[in-house]
């Protein structure tokens, strides 16, 4: 028996990504924790709340780097989860207990690495880093859908089999499932087009 239900947010299981952007006015780096992303070919599409500092930075020309988290850093991520880089906190965020934070890198214990193809920094603790520039920005009522073009992909050797293949045994993406942090590293089998490495 299926029950029809209404839900404001519906996180049925998405990778957790730390989006880094730069405030072009003062050169300050920000981290926005997101889970609304998908990737196809050279594009990444994301969903961002309009009050988020990450969105405000993109709106005025920042590039974006998507640092894909693994399961080991969920506590670091939760430390910055209730913060925003937006000094002008909207009321709904104040009421939810969010606080303004000038340096989420220190608060979360994240290490900056210089960007290679774009200005936004990479996060060393994330084994997959995807540098992008923004190609399309489309505003809905309280969020924006943003399309980004991939400029460079950087993968930590610890999850590589060789120069062009991921060792999938060593990659445990952090998954946000109905607001619970979990991971996805139990193999059930592989697709007929599987191209990476596996023991
Ligand atoms: C695991 C997780 C996933 C999230 N996913 C999104 C998302 O996809 N889009 C979004 O706008 N906010 C998302 N949020 C909320 C933002 O991280 C939050 O609004 C934060 O204050 C934004 O930071 P900023 O204002 O410094 O950009 C998520 C939060 C967590 C903890």
With a 6 Å cutoff on the Cβ, whether 15 touches ligand 1 is: no
Expressed in angstroms and rounded, the spacing between residue 70 Cα and the centre of ligand 1 is 17
Signed CA dihedral, 64, 66, 72, 75: sign only:
positive
Residue 166 has pLDDT above 90, yes or no: yes
Q: What is the pLDDT of residue 104?
A: 98
CB 66 within 8 A of CB 130: yes
What is the DSSP secondary structure assignment for residue 170, as one 8-state letter? G
Tell me the mean pLDDT in the region 72-88.
98
Q: How confident is the model at residue 185 (pLDDT cuts 50, 70, 90)?
A: confident
Q: What is the pLDDT of residues 4-51, one digit of tens each?
A: 999 988 999 999 999 999 999 999 999 999 999 999 999 999 999 999
Tell me the mean pLDDT in the region 112-118.
98
Expressed in angstroms and rounded, the spacing between residue 193 Cα and the centre of ligand 1 is 33
Residue 53's CB: how many other CB atoms inside 10 A? Answer: 22
Tell me the mean pLDDT in the region 190-197.
96
Residue 28's CB: how many other CB atoms inside 10 A? Answer: 14
Q: What is the pLDDT of residue 8?
A: 87
Every domain of the chain and the residues it spans = 14-183
- Atom 13 (ligand 1): residue with closest C-alpha? 34
Q: What is the pLDDT of residue 54?
A: 98
CA-derived radius of gyration, the chain: 17
With a 6 Å cutoff on the Cβ, whether 20 touches ligand 1 is: no
* Domain covering 14-183, topology: Pnp Oxidase; Chain A (2.30.110)
Q: How many Å from the N-terminal Cα to the C-terminal Cα in the chain?
A: 40
- Atom 16 (ligand 1): residue with closest C-alpha? 33
Burial 75-112, CB ≥16 within 10 A → b, else e: ebbebbeebbbbeebbeebeeeebeebeebbeebebee
């Amino acid at each position: 028996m299926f029950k029809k239900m209404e839900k404001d947010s519906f996180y049925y299981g998405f990778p957790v990504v730390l989006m880094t952007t730069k405030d072009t006015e003062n050169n300050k780096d920000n981290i926005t924790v997101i889970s609304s992303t998908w990737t196809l070919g050279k594009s990444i599409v994301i969903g961002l709340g309009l009050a988020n500092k990450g969105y405000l930075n993109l709106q005025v020309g920042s590039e974006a780097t998507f640092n894909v988290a693994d399961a080991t850093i969920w506590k670091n991520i939760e430390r910055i989860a209730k913060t925003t880089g937006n000094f002008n906190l909207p009321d709904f965020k104040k009421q939810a207990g969010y606080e303004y934070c000038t340096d989420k890198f220190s608060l979360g214990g994240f290490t900056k690495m210089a960007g290679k193809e774009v200005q936004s920094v990479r996060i060393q603790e994330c084994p997959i880093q995807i540098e992008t520039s923004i190609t399309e920005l489309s505003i809905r009522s309280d969020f924006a859908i943003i399309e980004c073009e991939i400029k460079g992909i950087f993968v930590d050797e610890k999850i590589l089999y060789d120069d062009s293949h991921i060792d999938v045994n060593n990659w445990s993406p952090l998954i946000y499932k109905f607001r619970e942090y979990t991971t996805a590293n139990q193999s059930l089998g592989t697709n007929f087009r599987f191209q990476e490495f596996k023991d």
